[in-house]
Amino acid sequence: MPETGSNYPETTSHTSSPSMTPLRPFYSVQHFEKSIRFMHESRLKGEGCLVHCLAGVSRSVTLVVAYLMTVTTLGWQEALAAVKVARPCASPNVGFQKQLQEFETSQLQQFRERLKQEYKENPFSDEEDARTLLTQIPSSEDHDLQHN
């Protein structure tokens, strides 16, 4: 990629944002599929994808966890634990955690299959990378993860 003079390479900018207001949850499970597809397509095109929100703690983390769940075999708690290794401040609020749990129990398996059918095999080493992150969790947190 050509350099822009800053510390960041020049990138193509695309946006996708579910509507939101501070008083109602905006990442309902229905938004996961659109956001996950956007992230996956961006990565497949070699563009990468920056997922952000105001603080980078709850909303954006929720979408990254949902994406990681979809492209790996991880459940929501393992995916969140892997994200926390890379971003220790990651802490989706209780409502978003419930939505991740709902996504895992009600739609995840079907969506994983649809994604595989549409995009074929995942060319990235997401599963291996996530599992490597999980090995970096201190043993007390690992113990807590296994018993939740």
| Average pLDDT of the residues in 60-81 | 97
How far, in Å, are 27, 64, 127, 133 from residue 35 at the CA level? 10, 9, 19, 23
Collapsed DSSP state (helix, strand, coil) of residue 6: coil
Of 29, 51, 53, 85, the catalytic one is 53
Secondary structure tally for the chain: helices H, strands E: 7, 0
Q: Which CATH class is domain 50-120?
A: alpha beta
| Short-list 66, 57, 136, CA closest to 98 | 66
User: Does residue 12 or residue 142 have the better pLDDT?
Assistant: 142
- pLDDT score, position 110: 95
Q: What is the pTM of this model?
A: 0.77
For residue 98, what is the enclosing H or E element?
A: helix 94-106
- pLDDT score, position 112: 95
Residues 6+ apart with CB under 8 A from 115: 36, 37, 40, 70, 71
Tens of pLDDT, residue by residue over 87-130, are 999 999 999 999 999 999 999 999 999 999 999 888 999 999 99
- pLDDT score, position 140: 63
Give the Cβ contact number of residue 23 at 10 Å: 6
pLDDT at 12 over 50: no
pLDDT at 65 over 70: yes
Tens of pLDDT, residue by residue over 15-48, are 555 544 443 445 567 788 999 999 999 999 999 8
Active-site residue, 49 included = no
Domain ranges of the chain: 50-120
Residues 6+ apart with CB under 8 A from 21: none
